[in-house]
């Protein structure tokens, strides 16, 4: 009897060990990603909500078992908008065997371009600088480039200005980020885009733009297209409001209509500029929470799930972070569904295959995300918005700038 009990006990222990082994397998794989961005320092007004969007979506993927028992572990580090810190962060991520990398600034993306090529790792930056793609195989812009955005705004001016050729000034960030689209917009003008670029102004840290505005007005400027972040734009249009320069309707004679690319606008601009933001025209490829839709509903529910405040929940930079995390999670899901190992190589292949009937609609953008070997600019479609009654509202339908690909 005692012998039988010992045999039975041995069988139970053996079975427990087998089941325990299966339990370890069932726990799933963990896929390492890295994100380096400005949570503090310059442009942190964009970087902070962006990081929250990335963090929240990956938490959602894991908690809802979107990848089954597999999980995404994305390490997020502050780089203070400094290229050398970003490089150190990236090197640390490589030591953790990341399979996908999310970068932030234009400067650091350009500086690390060779590293990305050597490591053969797919990268999505928060920067939409068209120059990121020059000579690169592994960088993928999430949406239409800054150049496409600026050209799209200039096209809207050309198509809707009512008296001769419109005189336009550009108000830009004093960096590679700000300067990037200027030459591309000038080339579009050379190819027939019917505007006159009167002056390009690189803003400094001045708190008063009175002299600049008066100079541009004296030159006959009727439109100022901005490419920077929200704070300098809020200061600019605040000064214009005090001088009575802001157009009450698009292209109003004797006044200035203010416009801007992705990082100039959104609800953050309204919060900073108040009434001066009224009639500001802005473009992006993202949906806004002020416009009802499935993307808006999902974003607000996600932010609520993780106890984000109202400012973060309604920030288009939060949307931006959510969307890049959606794309990264989607290529992992597709590779996994195809029975492929999750490696840099397989995820890169899934990125390149994201076109045609495999285009991806994350709902947080106004058009589908498409990539290929020859086109790494994710969402080609833009939406124009303007502030009406203190809220950004869509103007017309989503569009693709005619001169952007010429």
Residues 6+ away with beta carbon under 8 Å from 4: none
φ and ψ of 165, to 5 deg:
-85, 130
Query: Looking at the whole model, is its pTM more than 0.85?
Result: yes
pLDDT given at position 20: 42
Q: What is the DSSP letter of 363?
A: S
* Block residue for tokens 């597999």: 70
pLDDT given at position 11: 41
Domain ranges of the chain: 30-144+292-375, 147-284+384-399
Our measurement of the distance from residue 305's CA atom to the centroid of its chain's CA atoms, rounded to an integer in Å, reads 22
Round to whole Å and give the CA distance between 169 and 220: 10
pLDDT given at position 405: 73
Q: What is the DSSP letter of 254?
A: T
Write out residues in the chain with pLDDT < 70, as ranges.
1-26, 206, 406
Query: Hey, what long-range contacts does 237-240 have (CB within 8 A, 24 or more apart)?
Result: 237/273, 237/276, 237/277, 237/280, 238/273, 238/274, 238/276, 239/208, 239/209, 239/210, 239/213, 240/209, 240/213, 240/276
Residues 102, 35: contact at Cβ < 8 Å? Answer: yes
pLDDT given at position 23: 39
72 bridge partner residues:
31
Give, in order, the Cα–Cα distances in Å from 206 to each of 23, 216, 351, 382.
Answer: 62, 17, 43, 31
Fold match between 30-144+292-375 and 147-284+384-399? yes
Q: Which residues of 281-310 are buried (b: 16+ CB within 10 A; e: fewer)?
A: bbbbbbbbbbeeeebbebbeebbeeeebee
Is 135 exposed, middle or buried, given 0-12, 13-18 or 19+ CB atoms closer than 10 A? exposed
Round to whole Å and give the CA distance between 29 and 389: 49
φ and ψ of 286, to 5 deg:
-95, 155
pLDDT given at position 15: 37
pLDDT given at position 406: 58
pLDDT given at position 10: 46
Question: How many degrees, rounded to 5, is the angle at CA 146 between CA 327 and CA 346?
Answer: 25
Q: Which tens digits make up the pLDDT trace of 32-67? A: 999 999 999 988 988 999 999 999 999 999 999 999
Q: Which architecture does CATH list for 147-284+384-399? A: 3-Layer(aba) Sandwich (3.40)
State whether CATH 3.40.50.2300 applies to domain 30-144+292-375: yes
């Amino acid at each position: 009897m005692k012998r039988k009990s010992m045999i039975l006990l041995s069988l139970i222990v053996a079975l427990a060990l087998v089941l325990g082994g299966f339990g370890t397998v069932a726990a799933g794989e963990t896929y390492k990603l890295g994100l380096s961005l400005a949570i503090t320092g310059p442009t942190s007004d964009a970087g902070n909500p962006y990081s929250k969007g990335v963090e929240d979506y990956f938490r959602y993927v894991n908690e809802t078992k979107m990848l089954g028992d597999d999980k995404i572990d994305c390490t997020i580090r502050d780089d203070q908008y400094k290229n050398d810190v970003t490089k150190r962060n990236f090197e640390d991520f490589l030591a953790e065997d990341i399979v996908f990398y999310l970068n932030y600034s234009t400067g650091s993306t350009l500086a690390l371009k060779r590293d990305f090529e050597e490591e053969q790792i797919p990268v999505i930056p928060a920067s939409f600088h068209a120059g990121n793609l020059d000579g690169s195989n592994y960088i993928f812009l999430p949406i239409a480039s800054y150049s496409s955005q600026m050209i799209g705004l200039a096209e809207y001016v050309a198509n809707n200005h009512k008296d001769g050729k419109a005189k336009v000034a550009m108000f830009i960030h004093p960096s590679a980020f700000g300067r990037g689209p200027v030459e591309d917009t000038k080339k579009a003008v050379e190819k027939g885009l019917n505007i006159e670029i009167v002056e390009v102004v690189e803003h400094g840290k001045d708190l008063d733009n009175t002299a600049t505005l008066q100079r541009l007005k004296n030159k006959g400027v009727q439109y100022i297209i901005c490419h920077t972040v929200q704070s300098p734009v809020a200061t600019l249009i605040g000064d214009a409001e005090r001088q009575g320069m802001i157009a009450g309707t698009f292209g109003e004679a004797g006044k200035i209509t203010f416009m801007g690319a992705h990082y100039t606008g959104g609800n953050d601009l309204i919060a900073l500029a108040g009434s001066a933001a009224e009639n500001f025209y802005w473009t992006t490829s993202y949906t806004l929470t002020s416009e009802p839709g499935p993307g808006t509903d999902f974003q607000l529910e996600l932010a609520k799930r993780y106890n984000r405040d109202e400012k973060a929940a309604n920030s288009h930079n939060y949307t931006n972070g959510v969307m890049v995390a959606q794309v990264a999670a989607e290529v992992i899901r597709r590779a996994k569904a195809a029975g492929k190992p999750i490696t840099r190589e397989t995820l890169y292949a899934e990125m390149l295959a994201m076109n045609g009937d495999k285009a991806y609609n994350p709902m947080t953008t106004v058009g589908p995300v498409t990539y290929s070997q020859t086109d790494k600019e994710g969402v080609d479609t833009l939406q124009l918005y303007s502030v009406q009654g203190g809220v950004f509202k869509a103007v017309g339908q989503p569009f693709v700038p005619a001169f952007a690909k010429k």
